[in-house]
Structure 1
Amino acid sequence: MAPLILRDPNVTQKILEAIVDTPGGKRTLSRLARTCRAILEPALNVLWRDLDSFVPVIGLFPPTLLKKARKPGLGLSRAPAKEDWEKIMSYGMRVRSVTFNETANSVSPAIFPMLQNLPREYILPNLQQLTWKVETAGALDHCSMFLSPMVESLQFELGPTRFPTLNRILSDACNRLKLVNFSLVSPVSLPDTFTVMLSSQKTLQKVTLVAPGALSSGVGRWVAFLPELKSLQLDLSARTLTAIEGFFDELPSHTGDSTPSSVATTDSGVFSGEEVDFSSIRGKPTIRTKDRDSKAGFSTLHHVHLTGDVANIAVFLRHFSIPLTQLDLVIEDPPDNAEWLELSYIISERFGSSLQSWRISATATSKFTELIRSTSRAEPTISRLALEHLQPLPALRRLEIDLPESIHFISDDIETLAHACPNLEELKLCPLARFPVQSGPPKLLLEELSPLTEHCRNLNTISVPVNARRASPSVLDSAAVSSKSLRRLHVGHSWINDSLHVTILLSHLAPHLDSLKWFHDKNRPGFVETHARGWEKASETLPHIQNIRISERRTALAAVPIPVVELTPPPQKVDTTDKGIMAVASFVHQAVMAKPHTTDSGIQIRGPKMVHESVQVHPRLVSVSIDSVPRITEVGVSAIVSASDKSVGAVPETVTTFVDATPPNVSKSVQAMSSGRSGSISYYMLHPIFNLVSLTWRFFFAYPMSIPIRMLHVIFGHMPTIRRPSGFGPSSVNSISMNDIQVRG
């Protein structure tokens, strides 16, 4: 019987996917595919499912066809024949996702025209996700040959040049595909007919627009009323308040009144760079006190990904009142404290009851600035992202903060976070932060994580750098701070001074901890060998201390005395007497006025959008005529029977002849004449004998010979084309009279 991994395809798929995600997973999965024939097909499907280049596909050509067998991306030496496509057609069926990056120079552009000679229509017929990163217009045109009907995710990352064929490619893709995910990242403005081309894509669930013109009112109206939109990603960097407000200009408010634009302008937002910059006159109190009506639309939106300044993000999120479950923010680091507090208040107010995942990371500009600062001799700038003003987020399950400069957290932040997010399961607070010796240790102590282990009973993962020191007696004596759910702890570049006391503290806070990680790579920036050795000792000692801690608690629970309840004896029987007491109830009349508080609220119900679609079906008709007239040939046959009447005398002629039977001594001649003259006496004597001989001769010789001759005469007489043989003429058939026969003696 086959093992479970072969009997359940879903289990096999999950295990193979887990192997691929491990370091060196593709090599391991390739060896496994070559080892077991039963796992060959599932392993090949996982290996070829996601490709980050076209090089593996090109490498399927025969080595004699490649310019260099070890470098398939250089192209082909000649056009492939029909038999050279067998492996590509076989393995191309397995590919589900592929990425083409022109800047990597891994594939020669000259190979794409040769790929168009494929025997079938598409080289990757089951492709579902296509990512196209190009810098030139010629490379963009090659993506059309991979737009099979199965493509659901289309992602473009374009260079700074103009792409004249972008409109044609987008129009062709929208006519042929039903997209679920669409992404366009470009430093060039969106096409003028962008929303018109994508208006037919009603099945879009994720939209990513990072380009000038993405905040226009037309794009906002199109995005807001996508019926299945679940994820939206926009870039608010270097945008003015006017451009951000313009995104919602054509959307009605929930009160039924349309909200006018903040600045009277007819600009659609596509060329928003020409607007007046009001960032210099923007006042923080105005942003905080001026409330915006939430806009209609975005009914199915659950995930928002925004990039830009904190102030711009706060203005954008003020227009939403939908229950977001996931919020990803890419901000400029370090943010302004007042703007950050305002953003925190908006998130708690608008999405506090629904938000489940919140991620905060830094823009590429902030990371690059921090990298330049760390490589120079300048002192690192370390700021703080305050969390003590965070409002309750009861539904939050995951919080991730990864900033290069705002890396310091204090005990007040942890205390506020523990009370505001009681259902937190995963917490990451700048786990990649570095704390060199000249800047000092982290401000957060290890024992100050105790509020999280005490109040967040579902917390299973913590990733935060700390300063690990000896724990205070108040923490070690409290049993409430011990967490049963914490399984993973990542301390990064944390400081440590006494590994034994740190191990004791960890065993108290997380007695069931399974994984303790830290940065121990010597080539990693910020590595301090002393701290790495200290955490290594703590990791080796922790399992033993945990076992002691757990056994002590079990012993303590077993040693708790069970209270003994003494049973009292039953009471003695007492003599009783029946007595009657008249009990009159006193009534008090009291009235309570219950006046319900009513609130009039109006709901604007807009009629459903009706789309009239007609499909014109013309069956293809082909007229074919078949000549079914039989060929008739008239042939005339003459069937005239030639007939001739002839009479045949069948009366035998008798001749009376007397023959002398005496042997003659003298020869004499006897002539039989028809004159009928009388003979001699000897003739009359021999007449009976001669009659007998004549009769015998006629029956046995004359008649058998004359009858066939007469029949031949009749047959040849009716056939004029056959030459009659001589002697068979009409005169030759006449009967010969016996009277004409002369008999000579």
Structure 2
Amino acid sequence: MPGLSDILPALHRRSSSIRERIRTISIGSSASKHQSISGPSAAPSHRPYSVYQQSSATFMAPPRIVAILDSDAVTQRLLETILDSPNGRRTLSRLARTCRAWFDPALNVLWRELDSLVPILGLFPAHLLKKSKRPGLGLTTPPLEKDWEKILRYGGRVLRITYDELSNNVHNSVFPIFEEYRPRTYVLPNLQHLTWRITSPENLDRAALFLAPSLQGLVLHLGGAGTRFPTLPAFLADIGSRRKLQSFSIYSSASLPDTFSDLLLPQDELERIAVVAPGALSPIVGKWVAYLPRLKSLQLDLSGRSRTAVEAFFREWRSGDSTPDSMESHTDSGIFSGEEVDFTEIRKSLLKLTGDAKKSLTFPALVQLHLTGQTSNIATFLTHLSSPLTQLEIVIEDPPDAADWRDLSALICERFGDSLTSLRIGATLSSKYSDLVRSTSRAAPAPSRLSLGYLSSLPILARFVVDLPESVIFTAADVAALAKAGPKLEEVRLCPLARFPPAAPPHLSLEDLAPLISGCQRLNTLAVVINAKGASKEGGVESAATSRSLMWLHVGHSWVTDTLQVAILLSQFAPYLDTIKWYTERNRPGFVEANARSWQKVSDILPHLQNLRLTERRAVMPEKEIVVEYVQVVAPRPPMSDKAIDATVLTTDRGVDATQLTSEMSVQATPQVKHRETQATASKTSIAIDAVPRTVETEVDATMELVALPALAKEAEELDSPRPGSQLNCGGAPSHLMSLPSLTSLFGFLCRIFIAFPLSIPMRVLHALLQLSRAREEGGEGGDVALDTIHVRP
């Protein structure tokens, strides 16, 4: 497959020709008004189909471009290179509009990393935004479900996003709308890294909107002097219970919670940790960090702390304890603690003397370390580490103490010289601020020297960067010592931002770089400030000081006078040099216009001298005869020495977490609800019932017929004499015969009136009352005894 350097020019020319041809196609006014695809609002479906039809029918993709599209890795690498170039986003947007095959890969690269929420808000329809050109101001009305289509379509492409409250480009009213009206739980479902910079405590909980299940890295910047975040423990507990992060960083001006390590204890898969906050050096945090099995990168702030506080970070470590049966783990049970002496430390000392102690590494997987603070504190911290670091970045107070810098340089070479590949030395914010104050005043900065002669052996070091505002003086001895210590250096930066006053020029000259160029054959990037006014007039240096790999040179505010001599030296040092960079900004402190014009002339002359130099070398090389002489030399006897090898088997206790991996998935199951009203008024009917019992009044004439009976004679006489108006018997019976039945009936009548009738009425009433009580017991309702039920015999 052709190289990337061959593909990029061909692709650029091909894309340019396609764009020029597309512009010549008559596609109407709609195509001429088509906007740039810097945002995702423009898609291929929005362009007229005649453009794609004409381009696909006329142009054929070259084989190299087809080979790129066949490999996802090559396509990704190519698009990333285009993105890093000047106007890279505009170029990618044009490339996405040029060909349908490039549309999805280009948009994935454009949208994979966002530095704000504004591009997401810009996907809402224009009529919902308060100002279409400033989407961060918020929405006028709540969005409907169809208004979220573009956000859901392009939200899956976002992998990294940053929210910065200090930039003030997103109004706080946006977050309630996302919480209430979002169509699904996570608008950015594939988000992998979230950076959350806030100063208000209420904005901390709003980060939960972006804690997608795919999240792997979280960076919290809790700013604001004196601002407390009361919901931070609950937020950390939520993260520890639901997510398995690979990187976690917290930068806070407030103290960490007392339960910080307990809240993050479930995060046992962390590979990168950065804790820059008060309380980060507590023994509990140190113990938690030490027992992370996959930790590869660590960043701590040691500024303003004593050496005792740095030592306390390692106080809770128990690297020697392995099993309960080992001698190192035997401690006093506590039962007789008042009577016996604890021999734990004595046992450990004896084990170290006899060589039976286990040799374990602190941070066994740690390869990257970033420390900030005084030089002495950094040296104290490094003395406790035995892991093979590959990348070390230290941020120190500038200028450092000479003795502390000497000890730190020796310690780095002694402990990490065989594994270190990158070493960066920077300045703290306080040092940079002091330098800024001096640069804005009339007083010239006073540069100091940072000696590189203390670096002894860094055999595999590939990148060495020094970026300090005051310690900017380097000499030829420093360059020679650096070339000797790091023969495999590929990138060297020695304070390229340094400024020198007119009375004190840079100490390094162009010829002083010869040991570095000749000793480091892999060197491809060099950034250093030099004094090229006194360039050699001899026209060159020895042929050994030539580098075929040096391609990029940054001279910053370097001094130069004789442009031709400088170009001749550079053509000798780096005949394949491709880029020379210097500062051309007139408003930059330390800018000298004469030096900028001279370096421009050097850049113009150098390519011609390089071609001449290479032509001469190609012409000389075939004529040169190579004579090889074979001389038999007796091999010297190798030096012999007796060495003892410790054959103690190193054992490591490691636990395996066999917990089943679970994944959380959220499903939006909102039911559809319809409102209906039903008239449920019951119909009523009024019925009147006459419940008045029917009564019958019956009058009984119970008047007794009284008969006065005088004496027997008179009675007999009356009986014999007929009554007036009475009837005689038909039979013509005598009247005295009728007196006896009359007496009998009279007597019976009297018996019924005075005896039977008074007894019959109470018995009837009693019978009615018994029926009434029996009806009430059976659940019925009783009533008054009807008078018509009482029969009175005449």
Please tell me whether residue 432 in structure 1 is matched to residue 432 in structure 2.
no
Q: CA deviation at 1:96?
A: 0.7
Query: Equivalents in 2 of 1:477, 1:613: separation in Å?
Result: 66
Report SS of the residue matched to 2:405.
helix
Query: Equivalents in 1 of 2:149, 2:444: separation in Å?
Result: 61
Q: CA deviation at 1:331?
A: 0.8
Residue 183 of structure 1 aligns to which amino acid in structure 2? S
Query: Equivalents in 2 of 1:612, 1:490: separation in Å?
Result: 53
Report SS of the residue matched to 1:94.
coil
Query: Equivalents in 1 of 2:205, 2:603: separation in Å?
Result: 55
Please tell me whether residue 360 in structure 1 is matched to residue 425 in structure 2.
yes
Distance 1:613 1:500, change over 3 A: closer
Q: CA deviation at 1:379?
A: 2.7
Report SS of the residue matched to 2:432.
helix
Please tell me whether residue 329 in structure 1 is matched to residue 394 in structure 2.
yes
Q: Is the 8 A contact 2:379 2:408 kept in 1?
A: yes
**Alignment correspondent of 2:70:** 7
For residues 218-617 of structure 1, the aligned pairs below 5 Å read: 218-252=284-318, 296-438=361-503, 440-472=504-536, 476-560=540-624, 597-600=643-646, 605-609=651-655
Report SS of the residue matched to 2:212.
coil
RMSD: 2.6
Please tell me whether residue 167 in structure 1 is matched to residue 233 in structure 2.
yes
Distance 1:507 1:81, change over 3 A: same
Q: CA deviation at 1:419?
A: 0.8
Runs (5+) with no aligned partner, structure 1 = 260-292, 566-593, 618-745
1:180-218 C-alpha deviation (Å, 9 max, x unpaired): 110000011111111111111121110000011111111
Residue 205 of structure 1 aligns to which amino acid in structure 2? E
Alignment TM-score, normalising by the size of structure 2: 0.67
Please tell me whether residue 36 in structure 1 is matched to residue 99 in structure 2.
yes
Instruction: Give the counterpart of 2:243 among 159, 167, 177.
Output: 177
Residue 413 of structure 2 aligns to which amino acid in structure 1? S
Q: CA deviation at 1:306?
A: 0.5
Distance 1:437 1:80, change over 3 A: same
Instruction: Give the counterpart of 1:149 among 213, 238, 244.
Output: 213
Distance 1:485 1:258, change over 3 A: farther
Q: CA deviation at 1:131?
A: 0.7
Q: Is the 8 A contact 2:509 2:535 kept in 1?
A: no
Q: Is the 8 A contact 2:270 2:295 kept in 1?
A: yes
For residues 53-132 of structure 1, the aligned pairs below 5 Å read: 53-116=116-179, 117-132=181-196
Query: Equivalents in 2 of 1:466, 1:340: separation in Å?
Result: 24
Distance 1:596 1:432, change over 3 A: closer
Instruction: Give the counterpart of 2:198 among 134, 155, 163.
Output: 134
Which range moved further: 518-527 or 222-231? 518-527
1:315-347 C-alpha deviation (Å, 9 max, x unpaired): 000111111000011111111111101100000
| Runs of 4+ with >6 A deviation | 254-259, 562-565, 614-617
Residue 350 of structure 1 aligns to which amino acid in structure 2? R
Report SS of the residue matched to 1:491.
strand
Aligned length: 555
Report SS of the residue matched to 2:100.
coil
Q: Is the 8 A contact 2:493 2:527 kept in 1?
A: yes
**Alignment correspondent of 2:342:** none
Query: Equivalents in 2 of 1:612, 1:564: separation in Å?
Result: 65
Query: Equivalents in 2 of 1:294, 1:244: separation in Å?
Result: 23
Report SS of the residue matched to 1:379.
coil
Q: CA deviation at 1:157?
A: 0.3
Q: Is the 8 A contact 1:251 1:296 kept in 2?
A: no
Which range moved further: 423-432 or 512-521? 512-521
Q: CA deviation at 1:469?
A: 3.9
Distance 1:615 1:458, change over 3 A: closer
Q: CA deviation at 1:555?
A: 3.1
Q: CA deviation at 1:173?
A: 1.3
Residue 125 of structure 1 aligns to which amino acid in structure 2? P
Query: Equivalents in 2 of 1:152, 1:346: separation in Å?
Result: 35
Q: Is the 8 A contact 1:190 1:211 kept in 2?
A: yes
**Alignment correspondent of 1:654:** none
**Alignment correspondent of 2:90:** 27
Q: Is the 8 A contact 2:537 2:565 kept in 1?
A: no
Distance 1:615 1:528, change over 3 A: closer
1:530-581 C-alpha deviation (Å, 9 max, x unpaired): 111111111111112222222223333334357799xxxxxxxxxxxxxxxx
Report SS of the residue matched to 2:149.
helix
Report SS of the residue matched to 2:610.
helix
1:481-505 C-alpha deviation (Å, 9 max, x unpaired): 1222222111111001211111111
Residue 595 of structure 2 aligns to which amino acid in structure 1? H
**Alignment correspondent of 1:195:** 261
Residue 277 of structure 2 aligns to which amino acid in structure 1? A
Q: Is the 8 A contact 1:387 1:416 kept in 2?
A: yes
Alignment TM-score, normalising by the size of structure 1: 0.71
**Alignment correspondent of 2:275:** 209
Residue 12 of structure 1 aligns to which amino acid in structure 2? T
**Alignment correspondent of 2:758:** none
Q: CA deviation at 1:98?
A: 0.8
Q: CA deviation at 1:34?
A: 2.8
Q: Is the 8 A contact 2:465 2:494 kept in 1?
A: yes
Residue 135 of structure 1 aligns to which amino acid in structure 2? T
Report SS of the residue matched to 1:417.
helix
Q: Is the 8 A contact 2:444 2:501 kept in 1?
A: no
Query: Equivalents in 1 of 2:592, 2:537: separation in Å?
Result: 29
Q: Is the 8 A contact 1:251 1:258 kept in 2?
A: no
Q: Is the 8 A contact 1:252 1:296 kept in 2?
A: no
Q: Is the 8 A contact 1:211 1:235 kept in 2?
A: yes
Identical positions, percent: 52
Residue 655 of structure 2 aligns to which amino acid in structure 1? K
Q: Is the 8 A contact 1:122 1:146 kept in 2?
A: yes
